[in-house]
Amino acid sequence: MSTQSPSEKSGQEGEGGFKIPDKGVFVSEYNKKILRATRMPERVKILDTTLRDGEQTPNVALSIDDKVKIAQALDELGVDIIEAGFPINSEGEAEAVKRIASSGLRSEICALCRANKVDVDAAIGAGVDSAHIFLATSKVHLEKKLKISKDEAVEKAVTAVQYAKDHGLVTEFSCEDATRTDLEFLHEVHKAIEEVGVERIDIPDTVGVMTPPAMTEFVSEIRSKTKVPLAVHCHDDFGLSVANSLAGVRGGAEEVHVTMNGLGERAGNAALEEVVMALQAFYGMKTGINTRKLAFVSRLVSQLTGIAVQPNKAIVGENAFSHEAGIHVHGILSESSTYEPMRPEIVGKERSIVLGKHSGHHAIDSRLKEYGITLEKEQMKELVKRVKKYAESGKKLDDAELFAVAYDILGQETEPVIRLEEFTAFTGLNFTPTATVVLNIDGDVRRASETGVGPIDASLSAMRSAVSKSIVLRQYRLEAITGGSNALCEVTVKLGDTENPSIISLGKSVGSDIVTTSVDATVEALNRLWVCKLTMNGKDGGRKVY
């Protein structure tokens, strides 16, 4: 549905002395006031570690091909440095880093190494541009984990940096657990590696124990003692990784380590999408990131890692630009900046108005008008009441359901338009799964046969062929309700339409045969989608509603 607000259409100025459309971001003026005194760089480098720290997310293991796909997407997104992996970790990891390093990407390709020759050799063997060398320096790590003295630590750090540089690698060094390291000792390590020519120094908040004011001071303290460019690497154990990264930049860091969707060890790392948008919005900084690709890359990483993005996740979550409450929808439809701090399209998202128990008549009316349906005042009141009741029962209201209720109020016919007359599916060993369907679409009988990777895929394809090739499967979910080989299953099918991208229709069915249950769910979704299509195209007056 078109949810453009007046200022988006006209590009007009807003009240309060700041331009509303400007760069599509509408933040508080107090930020500018507070930050005015701070001198910060114009451009911050982004080091993405989705393929290294991100892959350390519990239960994530990416194949080499998937890693290459993610690296390509990060490159297109515009990240400066891709930390491609930890080559010494395994042969597969070394191979993945090698493939990425030889993919001709624009980004600098970096490998993680402990401060020893073997790790640096693995990075050299993988053909990367740079080595991110790390060594823990906090008391607890030195004494309990590494069991080495401070002098030995300095020696190891210097030798590893020198060795990597001698072999032509750009070097970035991290004192692991820097934020719990004695500051004097941290300066000592930094000074020693600066003397052998380290190119960048990273400050990891390894267990996420800083607060933003402390991070700013900590980084500026380090900044005052070294000329080497600084980076920050913040973990999210207290939910402060993004805030701490921004604070680190305020303290003098010129590079930020991030991961897509905030993946990473334990609670994760600072999320690329949040850091980039915040740097741009609050500090007015450039990052080189093509923000319009953020939603796409987030989806890709989520699909390949199998880690779902929480719906209420900032910037890329499903709800980040969704509005349900009546007052908010009213505001959004009048002027989007009332309830949105940035335009969805600048991060590659779309705004959506969700109908639910908080919806008022503005949202419902505007959705119906999209389809050319008009209700009288009393009918609208009744519709709002029924929509709320429906939503309160815990069900999700899609367009087809909304029409069903609207047409019921208008006293119009409600019956399925598409009926399944025949269906067969064959599968077997060394046999390409094939399905044939006969559908009766309002008296027009259509037959179609298709093959697929399995009988369900073949059946769904055959139904699409019979109805319309513009129909696409957006989601398919199969759940076993009971156990055993005769278990009951529930299938949910979500269909979309490439000719009318705003249409999404849902079908659900329960049965004991997963193929026929999938077909039944698809027929239900097809009926709903068909009604939306007809209504949108103004044919049939949308009278036949299932």
Give me the residues that bind ligand KIV (CB under 6 A), please.
53, 134, 174, 176, 204, 206, 233, 235
Does 399 help bind Zn ion (rule: CB under 5 A)? Answer: no
Q: DSSP states of 74-126 as a string?
A: HHHHT-SEEEEE-GGG-HHHHHHHHHHHTS--SSEEEEEEESSHHHHHHHHHH
Residue 306: DSSP 8-state: T
Closest to 271 measured CA to CA, from 301, 230, 226, 292:
301
- Inter-residue contact 73 to 51 (CB < 8 Å): no
- Does 83 help bind Zn ion (rule: CB under 5 A)? no
| Closest listed residue to residue 479, CA positions, set 463, 490, 466, 465 | 490
Residue 176 site contact among ligand KIV, Zn ion, none (CB < 5 to 8 Å, cut-off depends on kind): ligand KIV
45 binds, among Zn ion, ligand KIV, none (CB under 5 to 8 A by kind): none
Rounded least distance, CB 142 to Zn ion, Å: 18
> What, of Zn ion, ligand KIV, none, does residue 134 touch, CB below 5 to 8 Å by kind?
ligand KIV
Q: Which is nearer to ligand KIV, 46 or 329 (CB)?
A: 46
Helix or strand run (H / E) with residue 175: strand 170-176
Taking CB within 5 to 8 Å according to partner kind, which of ligand KIV, Zn ion, none is near residue 323?
Answer: none
Query: Least separation, in Å, of the C-beta of 232 and ligand KIV?
Result: 11
H runs (alpha helix) in 11-58: 29-35
* 331 binding partner (options Zn ion, ligand KIV, none; Cβ < 5 to 8 Å by kind): none
- Asked whether the beta carbons of 397 and 390 are under 8 A apart, the reply is yes
Contact partners, residue 439, CB within 8 Å, separation at least 6: 418, 419, 420, 421, 445, 446, 448, 463, 466, 467, 523
268, 259 in Cβ contact below 8 A? yes
Please tell me the number of Cα atoms within 13 Å of 236 on its side-chain side: 22
What's the closest the beta carbon of residue 134 comes to ligand KIV, in angstroms? 4
CB closer to Zn ion out of 26 and 134 = 134
Tell me whether strands 471-480 and 489-497 are parallel, antiparallel or unpaired. Answer: antiparallel
Please state the closest distance from residue 86 (CB atom) to ligand KIV, in A: 9
Of residues 203 and 333, the one with the C-beta less far from ligand KIV: 203
> Which C-beta is closer to Zn ion: that of 80 or that of 177?
177
Report d(CA 285, CA 390) in Å as an integer: 46
Residue 136 belongs to what H/E stretch?
strand 130-136
**Contact residues for 483 (Cβ-Cβ < 8 A; gap 6+):** none
Residue of this chain nearest to Zn ion (CB atom): 53
**Bridge partner residues of 425 (DSSP):** 435
Q: With CB cut-offs between 5 and 8 Å by kind, which of ligand KIV, Zn ion, none does residue 328 bind?
A: none
Nearest distance from C-beta of residue 236 to ligand KIV, angstroms: 11
Q: Which does residue 399 touch among Zn ion, ligand KIV, none (CB within 5 to 8 A, set by kind)?
A: none
Minimum Å distance from CB 53 to ligand KIV?
A: 5
Q: How far is the CB of 279 from ligand KIV (least distance, A)?
A: 20
CB nearer to ligand KIV: pick between 270 and 439:
270
Residue 158 vs 258, nearer CB to Zn ion? 258
User: From the CB of 212, what's the least distance to Zn ion, in Å?
Assistant: 18
Smallest gap from residue 2 Cβ to Zn ion (A): 43
User: Considering the complex, what minimum distance in angstroms separates the CB of residue 174 from Zn ion?
Assistant: 8
For residues 98 and 235, which CB has a smaller minimum distance to ligand KIV in the complex? 235
Which residue's CB is nearer to ligand KIV, number 178 or number 418? 178
413 and 543 Cβ atoms separated by less than 8 Å: yes
Q: What are the CA-CA distances from residue 395 to residues 56, 309, 386, 390, 407 (Å)?
A: 37, 22, 12, 7, 19
Choose between 265 and 399: whose C-beta lies nearer to Zn ion. 265
Q: What mask, x for binding Zn ion by CB under 5 A, covers residues 19 to 58?
A: ----------------------------------x-----
Q: Which is nearer to ligand KIV, 113 or 545 (CB)?
A: 113
**332 membership: H or E segment, kind and range:** helix 326-334
Binding residues for Zn ion restricted to 264-293, rule: CB under 5 A: none
> SS3 sequence, 359-383?
CCHHHHHHHHHHCCCCCCHHHHHHH
Residue 174 interacts with which of Zn ion, ligand KIV, none, CB < 5 to 8 Å by class: ligand KIV
Q: How far apart are the first and last CA of the chain?
A: 22
Q: Which residues bind Zn ion (CB under 5 A)?
A: 53
